[in-house]
Amino acid sequence: MNQTYLSWLAAETNTRWNNDSAIHSQAEAACAQGAIGVTTNPPLSYEALMTDTNLYGENLSRLDKNLPDDEFAFQAMCLVVKHFSGYFRDLHEKKGGFYGGVRAQVAPNLRANAQAMFDYGKRLAAVGKNILVKIPGTKAGISVLEELAALGINTNPTVIVSVSQALATAEAFERGRDRAVRAGLPAPVSTCAVVMGRLQDYFAVLNKERNLGLAMADLEWAALAVVKRSYAIYREKGFHSRIMPAAFRAPVQVEQIAGGEFWATIHPKIQAAVEEADRAGSMRRNIFADAPVDEGAVKRVAAALPEFSVACEPDGLTVDEFDAFGGVVMTLDGFHEGWKQLVSLKYT
């Protein structure tokens, strides 16, 4: 028990994990427990800029406040992206692939603008070889993921709250990867961020609005079911992309991915909750990635929430329906709040 649970997960299983925070001290602490990368989405980048003023204050003050709002926000976020690209460069150069990855997201308000996302994606990729460009799993985003992969650019589909989105992004990546290889480019890599906590949050809102009385533990298992089903289909189809469980809401969700070939991203609050649960003896150090979900919990959620079946079935949504699904809208709106925070720095 000298090893923390997260250290055990990284050292003794096939599961790898990244720090879901861009605050430097938190990234360092996570790396000491086996984290091999970082996420820098808009709200996380804003938090880092406000916290690590010794790292970013001077350069942030030099940004041109005459820039358009989105361009200013992009350049502010890139200060954080560049910092971590350098921080993880040695690990990436040593081990390659997903190791040392820095996940950087295009502006959430571009969710339907394929050309703009493509252009920003290329700019993000130019920051460093270890950048994985985060593109939302919207209708426009699917085409962008293929086009970026075709250029040999590493990607990280995000805002994935359904199995059908996870499959569509993997298929798009395969098409783009094949094009890159045929063109003689290095094969890119991709991780698919199934933001199960965001899906759980959406279910929780519906649960409250409809007065359904579902237990939070049941919603935790329902969100896990989407991750596990996506993972099983990815392995069955032999996709090169890997599932990245994200937005964890409870230690049990970390326990239940243990041993799978996941590249998870875990926020420091959940890291702390996991270690507290481990000290209390409630984190089982076993392989659970292939274990079934709690059948009773999933049945209760399925009976009460038709949106769960939509999210969990491989054909639950068509590509044309991705943008309007409530979990997608709610998640992107949350990211957009972070983007507006970055914009606000222009006016301070």
Please give the chain's pLDDT, 348 residues, in tens.
Answer: 579 999 999 999 999 999 999 999 999 999 999 999 999 999 999 999 999 999 999 999 999 999 999 999 999 999 999 999 999 999 999 999 999 999 999 999 999 999 999 999 999 999 999 999 999 999 999 999 999 999 999 999 999 999 999 999 999 999 999 999 999 999 999 999 999 999 999 999 999 999 999 999 999 999 999 999 999 999 999 999 999 999 999 999 999 999 999 999 999 999 999 999 999 999 999 999 999 999 999 999 999 999 999 999 999 999 999 999 999 999 999 999 999 999 999 999
Q: Which two tokens stand for residue 242?
A: 């890997």
Q: Which two tokens stand for residue 134?
A: 């985060």
pLDDT at 92: 97
Find out whether 210 and 204 touch, Cβ atoms under 8 Å: no
Residue in 304, 209, 215 with CA at minimum distance from that of residue 252: 215
Range list of H helices, the chain: 5-12, 24-31, 42-51, 53-62, 69-87, 89-95, 114-125, 139-150, 163-182, 196-209, 216-237, 251-255, 268-279, 295-304, 306-312, 326-344
Find out whether 15 and 260 touch, Cβ atoms under 8 Å: yes
pLDDT at 2: 78
Q: Rounded distance, CA 98 to CA 18, Å?
A: 10
Range of the domain at 119: 5-347
Find out whether 307 and 161 touch, Cβ atoms under 8 Å: no
| The pTM of the whole model exceeds 0.85 | yes
Distances (CA, A) of 93 to 19, 200, 209, 339: 19, 36, 49, 31
Q: Rounded distance, CA 156 to CA 189, Å?
A: 9
Q: How many domains does the chain have?
A: 1
- Residue 33 is part of a domain; what is its CATH number? 3.20.20.70
Rg (CA), the chain: 19
Residue 192 CB partners (closer than 8 Å, separation 6+):
156, 157, 160, 166, 169, 170, 230, 234, 241, 242, 243, 244
pLDDT at 1: 53
